[in-house]
Amino acid sequence: MARPVTRRAAALSLYGNAFVVGGVLMGFEMLGARYLYPYFGSGIETWAGLISMVLCALAIGYFAGGAIVDRYPSLHVLALAIAVAAAYLALVPPNADLVMSWLLQALGAGPAGILIAAAALLLMPLSLLGMLSPIAIRLLIQSTEESGRISGLVYGISTIGSVFGTLFTTFALIPTLGSRAITYVYAAVLAASALSLFLVAEKPE
d(CA 82, CA 76): 10
- How many domains does the chain contain in total? 1
The pLDDT score that the predictor gives to residue 2 is 44
Averaged pLDDT in 10-residue chunks for the chain of 205 residues: 59 94 96 93 92 96 95 92 98 96 93 95 97 94 82 95 96 93 98 94 56
Give the list of residues 6+ apart from residue 54 with CB closer than 8 angstroms, or none: 25, 29, 122, 126
The pLDDT score that the predictor gives to residue 6 is 47
The pLDDT score that the predictor gives to residue 75 is 92
Q: What is the CATH number of the domain that holds 192?
A: 1.20.1250.20
Model confidence pTM above 0.85: yes
d(CA 169, CA 5): 32
Whether residue 3 lies inside any domain: the answer is no
CB 32 within 8 A of CB 50: yes
Whether residue 40 lies inside any domain: the answer is yes
d(CA 125, CA 43): 24
Whether residue 156 lies inside any domain: the answer is yes
d(CA 161, CA 145): 26
Whether residue 159 lies inside any domain: the answer is yes
Q: Residue 184: which domain range?
A: 8-200
The pLDDT score that the predictor gives to residue 205 is 38
